[in-house]
Amino acid sequence: MAFPLPPAMRLALDLSRDAAAAGEVPVGAVVTRDGAVIATSANMMRGSNDPTAHAEIVAIRRAAEATGSSRLDGLDLWVTLEPCAMCAGAIALSRIARLYFAADDPKGGAVVNGPRLFTQPTCHHRPEVYTGIGEAEAATQLRDFFAGRR
């Protein structure tokens, strides 16, 4: 029996789909507080000519602006792909409470793959991490996007 996706992950997957339609790698991110959406973004690297404009980074920046604080204590981040090292670092520095992500990224991920940033002794904040929520849809979006470019 399939369970419905949490609304925040559904929104992240919709943002991811829109990113792909715009020619961006399909990744979407949503920051919530107690289920209410605080900020959203999709990958914007190509459109903004900014290599740091990953969905997570932009959503974290927008959440910090919306809350008036660089410390996002108690907020949750929902993202369609395992965060890279840059994004995992930003998650730790912003003090995001919980990270939910859909698909693992064996090549570029830094949470359950690669450097596993949150397990390092130099990482001063470790969010709760939940994986695999919406994984099949996120993986299909990514696979389809990259198949169209080969």
- Residue 56 annotated in active site: yes
Query: What is the DSSP-derived secondary structure letter of residue 28?
Result: E
Distances 16 to 22, 35, 76 between C-alpha atoms, Å: 10, 19, 18
- 123 is an annotated ligand-binding site residue: no
Q: Using only C-alpha atoms, what is the Rg of the chain? A: 14
Write out the two tokens for 100.
């939910």
Contact at 8 Å (CB) between 39 and 68?
no
CA–CA distance, 150 with 148 (Å, rounded to integer): 6
84 is in an annotated binding site: yes
Ligand-binding annotation for 87, yes or no, is yes
CA–CA separation, 94 vs 7, rounded Å? 23
Catalytic position from the list 24, 56, 82, 137: 56
Q: What residues contact residue 1 under an 8 Å CB cut-off, 6+ apart? A: none
As given in the structure block, the two tokens for residue 51 are: 């290599």
Residues assigned a catalytic role = 56
Q: Which residues are annotated as a binding site for Zn(2+)?
A: 54, 84, 87
